[in-house]
A = this chain, B = another copy of it.
Amino acid sequence: MKTVRLGLLGCGTVGGGVVRLLRENASYLAARVGAPLEVARVLVRDPAKDRVADLDRALLTTNPDDIFGDASIDVIVELMGGVTPARSYVERAIDSKRSVVTANKMLLAVHGPDLVERAQAAGVDLAFEGSVGGGIPVIRVLREAMAGDWIESLSGIVNGTCNFVLTRMQKDGLSFDDALREAQEKGYAEADPGLDVDGHDAAHKLVVLAMLAFGARVEHERVPTEGIRAIEPIDHRFAARFGFAIKHLGIGRDHGTAVELRVHPALVPLDTTLANVSGVLNAISLQGRALGPCLLSGRGAGDMPTAVSVVADIVDVAVARINGASGLKIRGVQLSKRPLLPIDDIESRYYLRFVVFDRPGVLARITGALGDHNVSIEQMVQEGGGNSTGTPVQVVLLTHEAKERDVRRALAEVGACDFVASSTRVLRIHG
């Protein structure tokens, strides 16, 4: 029986998990695939570094030619992360007719459509379940389970660091800084947390999801992206009072010509599944025209959950190779360049928190400015009013559905007023 030989690029924590799962489940996986899976060679930067327990050190190499030059290697598993040199290795794998499994979200966000088309042209597979949502099988569900449906929209908690920080703020009243410090201590956040808390990581994942859900080829750096640094404990308190949790979301919607993609914190109703996805868990909610809503949640990161996704991809790709049918994972994917809907054009309900000096006529000015721009108010609450100490008061409004442009214009008008003590917090309400 033929063996399917794997070349691993990179062997950090996820790679170690993959090696472990392949070993622990070897006989079952061989039965599934119809052939044993064998780790043939592993490209690493430093062969002296400690590796997964019983990976044969003779398999390690620092020379990529040892992998690409070995014609017996069928499948390349890229687990290095980053764009360089991962991109050139993936291209080289495709060009040499190997199928590729990768968990590299950044590579896919930046070059995904090109790589998909390159793999399609070469007739090989490109599988990347591990790139979004760690152990959550969202790519498989989008591509396979919803093959006969049309995906209208999606929204998801796709960054575990943000969700951990927001959950600690929401449930335990921590400040952003304290919650972030704890995330760093627990290893949930990098020393430089910008990629996570400023929303860029979520934007990368959203772009990958949009590629498969909407067939959209978009410029990832143009996705409207907001992080969570500006959220204060008081926002969580007000959100709870109105029946919401604050979550950091990636949101996508197919508008036909344009595609709406945005990443930002949002208020989510407390009695929904999405609002109750806590801590480092991720979740992705899909809306199919025929299927209706479908939510998937689980561990969005971590070595073993991601390794489970990578191994599932390896199995699929290996089965296809054994049967002479490589390319199945991306067969039928049609990508077209799609403009992004300008953020000004989106419609949403809004949470607006004004910090103002409590003078007569202030409320009338605020509500008047909103009304003048067609933004109608659903609920209002004022906190700290009736004092004469000159301390600013908090005025929180929830609006009905409104155009972002109109909200911005109204807020610009209010912001110019002398009763405004500090900048207005604007959060969109989701669902």
Contact = CB atoms under 8 A, between A and B. Distances in A.
A372 to B, nearest CB: 38
B304 A290 contact: yes
A144 interface: yes
Contacts of A315: 144, 147-148
Contacts of A278: 271
B275 A311 contact: no
Interface string A317-341: 0010011110010011010000000
Given A145-B309, A148-B311, A273-B273, A34 B291 contact: no
A244 to B, nearest CB: 13
How many chain A residues sit at the interface, stated as a range, is 35 or more
B29 A294 contact: no
Given A276-B272, A276-B273, A296-B295, A308 B331 contact: no
A136 interface: yes
Contacts of A311: 147-149
Given A21-B290, A273-B273, A273-B276, A146 B312 contact: yes
Contacts of A331: 31-32, 34
A149 B323 CA distance: 24
A21 B144 contact: no
Contacts of A265: none
A276 B283 CA distance: 14
A97 interface: no
A294 B147 contact: no
A319 B312 contact: no
Given A34-B331, A140-B145, A276-B271, A304 B316 contact: no
B295 A295 contact: yes
Interface of A: 17, 21-22, 25, 28-29, 31-32, 34, 129, 135-137, 140-141, 144-150, 271-273, 275-278, 281, 283, 288, 290-299, 302, 304-305, 307-309, 311-312, 314-316, 319, 322-325, 328, 331-332, 334
